[in-house]
Structure 1
Amino acid sequence: MGAHQALEVPQVTSHDESSGPRLIPFLLIKMINKSRGKILGVLALFLVMVWYSIYREDSFYFPVQENNKTTCPLGEVEKKAAQLIGNYTRDHPLFLQLKDYFWVKTPSLYELPYGTKGSEDVLLRLLSITHYSLPESIQSLKCRRCAVVGNGHRLRNSSMGDTINTYDVVIRLNNAPVHGYEQDVGSKTTMRLFYPESAHFDPRTENNPDTLLVLVPFKPMDFQWMEAILNDKRRVRKGFWKQPPLIWEANPEQVRILNPYYMEVTAAKLLNLPMKQPRKVKQKPTTGLLAITLALHFCDLVHIAGFGYPDSANKKQTIHYYEQITLKSMAVSLHPTVLSLFPPFFPRDGGWQPRRAVPGC
């Protein structure tokens, strides 16, 4: 046994230098044969990992929309609005036009806020210095993606500002501030619906230079206030439940007069309110629900945010994101509420369902 071992060792170690290169491939082949199972296993595991990585990437891939916008569901708003609003149509203009009161003199069946009967003269003067058209940047859109932003407390600390700013049309209400709240409510304002008592004293501070300032007329005095302001006439002081601004520096080219048709639709078809009410009864749609109605007649995608009262048991909860008015103080002032037919957040699927009363101011 010892001699045999002594004989084997020189056979391996006594090769000359030329035999070294031939020996290396032989040893590698021998090692590979012994480790073939392990190598195949590692290779199979690697292929599985590559396949799984590709599968996961495909599973979690979402097509990027142009300008990071939601796909436009053309026709969906009309279908759903037609279920809520009888004789739904988009044929009515958003804003009142001079030609309807000067050349054509379209008759109106109702007085304000559901029509212009009895207010034609002052309205004629007002329409002669304001405009009715939409900006070309909005008129030419193939898809109008709209956000109606309410003034509810739920917007506070919501961090929804950037999301709101991505919409083509952002509709705001009354004197709700933007400056200082941009992170939660955004900074973009395409339209702002208001009436004299809710007008911000300096519209330039809370709006963009091209914001459309849309007057919502509730009574003839609202027309008179606007005409006096824009023509720098003697100010109207009586007939308001709250003193409106006496100085209101706005560009007349940015002012629009909302067509009372949309107030009529909101009241009669969404709230089932009678068009003629006793003087002591003052049930009127809020600006918030009116803005949603307007969007349903104008937009291809309608999302809302900032709507919804605090829980009725929480009397100390503030109602608006920008001030300390509580539900208790609102109850004392008899602020009207309306039934919301839409969720108080940005719906992903556009689905709407009945909700509880929401503030429209």
Structure 2
Amino acid sequence: MGLRLVDKQGQQNQRMVIFGAVFLLTTLLILYSSNTGNDAVYTSFRVAAHRHALKVTDLKTWAGKEGYVPVRNKKNMNLHCHYCALVTSSSHVLGSRAGEEINSAECVIRMNDAPTSGYEADVGNRTTVRVVAHSSVFRVTRRPKEYLKGTGSNPIIIFWGPPNKIGKDAKGTLYRIIQKVSMTYNNLSCFTITPSKMKKFDSLFQKETGRDRQKSQSWLSTGWFTMVIAIEMCDNIKVYGMVPPNHCGSKSGSKKMPYHYYKPRGSDECLTYIQNESGRRGNHHRFITEKQVFARWAKLYNITYTHPKW
């Protein structure tokens, strides 16, 4: 009886030790998750994308410039720049005082309806190329002096979106607006992206992430299109305001920042990134996954990132 009692007590002690170890490990994991912010929330999509990423595509020979259709006349998209400044819409550019440096770049690339008026000290005021999504056409054409004239001699606007909305054969309102703008400003060159090249952008996303864009319910961002276009036309690219892919899981990412520098009361940047990255119902942008790809491209295409630097 005494031996059995001792044996039972030994088993109970062993169970208590195992339970204590499991409890301690669980507690440590919870503490680790809280210390790394929201990183765990969006890890699943990115890890899968990273593990299945295929061979990197050579974007210099990827599609060529024949994928751009002029809206007016028979112009060609033959712009080539040795040094480009790619200015994002992120609020991280505020306070950078990078305007003079951006203006000194050979070519300056901007996105959608990001303004320069009132923000010249931080983002400059020159625009060589503006990449505009179909969803931003109305906003851009509403203020033509701000977005369309530019300060360069021959500014370019590249419109991207579903071919049935902005394609040359489209009969909708968007294409008519683009045509009108192109005819109004003689020094402005407007292009739309061909349906075949739009498909290539989808296939590029799959090759670089291992994810089918449509099956994974992912929307490509204007940043995705702009980065690829910049790589096609620029030998060296300096990106202003883009955060690294792990930013929202770091201590610096805990500080709330507006998603757009010109909308101080707009949505929080990291909240927007994380909600889109982890979203499974409906279509979502995969901003963090895209930035992982951009980080790989940096080594291949002479891309540097500043404000913040990474």
Q: Which has the higher helix share?
A: 2
The residue that corresponds to 2:210 in the other structure is 272
The residue that corresponds to 1:229 in the other structure is 177
Q: How does 1:141-290 map to 2 (within 5 A)?
A: 144-199=82-137, 200=140, 201-207=142-148, 208=150, 210-223=154-167, 224-230=172-178, 251=185, 254-259=189-194, 260=197, 263-264=201-202, 266-274=204-212, 277-278=214-215, 282-290=217-225
Displacement of 1:92: 3.2
**Gapped regions of structure 1 (runs ≥ 5):** 1-82, 99-126, 233-246, 354-361
Displacement of 1:171: 1.1
Higher Rg of the two aligned structures: 1
CA contact (8 A) 1:160 1:185 kept: yes
SS at match of 2:116: coil
The TM-score with structure 2 as length reference comes to 0.58
For 2:183 and 2:118, the matched residues in 1 are separated by: 21
Task: Report the RMSD for the aligned CA atoms in angstroms.
Answer: 3.8
The TM-score with structure 1 as length reference comes to 0.50
CA contact (8 A) 1:151 1:176 kept: yes
CA contact (8 A) 2:86 2:108 kept: yes
Q: Which has the higher strand share?
A: 2
| 2:254 is the counterpart of 1:318 | no
> Could you tell me which amino acid in structure 1 is paired with residue 185 of structure 2?
N
212-221 vs 164-173, greater mean Cα deviation: 212-221
SS at match of 2:86: strand
Displacement of 1:225: 3.4
Pick closer, same or farther for the CA change 1:95–1:177 going to 2, 3 Å.
farther
Per-residue deviation, residues 264-299 of structure 1 (Å, max 9, x unmatched): 354133333326x35xx5312211122112222221
Pick closer, same or farther for the CA change 1:293–1:89 going to 2, 3 Å.
same
The residue that corresponds to 2:76 in the other structure is 133
Identify the structure with bigger relative contact order (alpha carbons < 8 Å, sequence gap 6+): 2
The residue that corresponds to 2:29 in the other structure is none
For 1:320 and 1:97, the matched residues in 2 are separated by: 28
For 2:271 and 2:175, the matched residues in 1 are separated by: 33
Pick closer, same or farther for the CA change 1:158–1:272 going to 2, 3 Å.
same
The residue that corresponds to 1:75 in the other structure is none
For 2:111 and 2:221, the matched residues in 1 are separated by: 10
> Could you tell me which amino acid in structure 1 is paired with residue 258 of structure 2?
T
Pick closer, same or farther for the CA change 1:97–1:300 going to 2, 3 Å.
closer
For 1:250 and 1:273, the matched residues in 2 are separated by: 41
**Gapped regions of structure 2 (runs ≥ 5):** 1-53, 306-310
Per-residue deviation, residues 314-361 of structure 1 (Å, max 9, x unmatched): 374212211122247736786622431446xx99x94769xxxxxxxx
> Could you tell me which amino acid in structure 2 is paired with residue 129 of structure 1?
R
Task: Report how many residues are paired.
Answer: 219
For 1:249 and 1:203, the matched residues in 2 are separated by: 13
Candidates 265, 287, 290, aligned match of 1:339: 290
Pick closer, same or farther for the CA change 1:332–1:299 going to 2, 3 Å.
closer
CA contact (8 A) 2:93 2:241 kept: yes
Pick closer, same or farther for the CA change 1:263–1:206 going to 2, 3 Å.
same
SS at match of 2:259: coil
CA contact (8 A) 2:248 2:254 kept: yes
CA contact (8 A) 2:72 2:190 kept: no
CA contact (8 A) 1:131 1:256 kept: no
CA contact (8 A) 1:131 1:255 kept: no
CA contact (8 A) 1:131 1:254 kept: no
Displacement of 1:90: 2.6
Pick closer, same or farther for the CA change 1:328–1:168 going to 2, 3 Å.
closer
| 2:56 is the counterpart of 1:85 | yes
Pick closer, same or farther for the CA change 1:229–1:154 going to 2, 3 Å.
same
SS at match of 2:146: helix
SS at match of 1:319: coil
For 1:352 and 1:218, the matched residues in 2 are separated by: 31
